[in-house]
């Protein structure tokens, strides 16, 4: 079941200032903005890797301050640039990490891994026993997606997951990701506007640690706000 995410006057001084956002259960939101705008920090507030200096973040209206962070993290997927795969664990062991922490029986884990990896074009029979270093960047990132999504997280946090990939691989992964995105609330950080438009239905623009625009994806580019127009111009979308 997807969860809703609330930011209530959240500040992380001196990086973020008075962030207010309500993200509905099942929504897919992109955080865009120039480097250093505060997107990563905002994302990391949701799984407690960053802490507010004031205000609060809540999931399904339960403030993180009163939640069990370890349990919360096991229900929250996190996909990052460079994938962060465990280099000493095989593809299967990596993907099975959260199910193991949750105490799933082995056959359930194996079945879920098999299904998910097949959808990501990484058949378990061929890739399961390989180590991350023997995979291409795109393959590693796919394993990262599988690892984050196998236990059906309520919220999925993505921090420029495809940022380091070449354009063709990037496009393939965006398509694969789109096919998987139902049933989970997605917060997707990217500095690529085309990627934001392709993957999400709502775009939030950050600048200088503040939210400066927040609109449905379809209407984002037509907003007259100067900061938005500047960002859109810099993004040079394909015609």
Binding interface with other proteins (CB under 8 A): 47, 49, 70-74, 76, 78, 80, 82-88, 97-98, 101, 144, 147, 157
Nearest-approach distance from CB 204 to ligand ADP, in angstroms: 11
Question: C-alpha distances in angstroms, 127 versus 70, 124, 135, 148, 177?
Answer: 29, 5, 9, 17, 19
Cis status, amide bond into 149, omega within 30 of 0: no
User: Based on CB atoms, which residue is closest to other proteins, 55 or 82?
Assistant: 82
CA distance 145 to 158: 9
Give the residue closest to ligand ADP by C-beta: 40
**Among the residue ranges 39-47, 163-171, 207-215, 223-231, the one whose residues contact Mg ion (CB under 5 A):** 39-47
Give the residue closest to Mg ion by C-beta: 40
Answer for the pair 211, 20: CB distance below 8 angstroms, yes or no.
yes
**Which residue has tokens 């990596």?**
94
Query: Considering CB distances under 5 to 8 angstroms, the limit depending on partner class, which of other proteins, ligand ADP, Mg ion, none binds residue 76?
Result: other proteins
Structure tokens at 174: 């965006």
Nearest-approach distance from CB 38 to Mg ion, in angstroms: 8
CA distance 30 to 234: 17
Nearest Cα to Cα of residue 202 among 176, 180, 220, 175: 220
Nearest-approach distance from CB 144 to other proteins, in angstroms: 8
Nearest-approach distance from CB 81 to ligand ADP, in angstroms: 10
Query: Considering CB distances under 5 to 8 angstroms, the limit depending on partner class, which of other proteins, ligand ADP, Mg ion, none binds residue 37?
Result: ligand ADP
Contact residues for ligand ADP, defined by CB under 6 A: 15, 33, 35-41
């Amino acid at each position: 079941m997807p969860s809703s995410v609330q930011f209530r006057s959240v500040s992380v001084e001196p990086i973020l200032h008075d962030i207010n956002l309500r993200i509905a259960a099942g929504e897919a939101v992109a955080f865009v903005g120039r480097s250093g705008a505060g997107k990563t920090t905002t994302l990391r507030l949701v799984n407690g890797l960053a802490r507010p200096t004031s205000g609060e973040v809540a999931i399904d209206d339960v403030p993180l301050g009163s939640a069990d962070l370890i349990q919360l993290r096991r229900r929250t997927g996190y996909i990052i640039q460079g994938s962060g795969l465990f280099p000493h664990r095989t593809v299967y062991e990596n993907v099975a990490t959260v199910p193991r922490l949750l105490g799933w029986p082995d056959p359930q884990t194996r079945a879920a891994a098999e299904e998910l990896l097949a959808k990501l074009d990484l058949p378990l029979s061929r890739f399961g026993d390989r180590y991350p270093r023997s995979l291409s960047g795109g393959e590693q990132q796919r394993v990262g997606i599988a690892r984050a999504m196998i236990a059906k997280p309520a919220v999925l946090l993505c921090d420029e997951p495809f940022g380091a990939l070449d354009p063709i691989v990037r496009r393939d992964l965006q398509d694969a990701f789109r096919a998987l995105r139902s049933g989970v609330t997605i917060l997707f950080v990217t500095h690529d506007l085309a990627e934001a438009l392709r993957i999400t239905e709502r775009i939030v623009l950050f600048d200088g640690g503040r939210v400066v625009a927040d609109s449905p994806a379809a209407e984002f580019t037509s907003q007259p706000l100067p900061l938005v127009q500047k960002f859109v111009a810099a993004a040079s979308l394909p015609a």
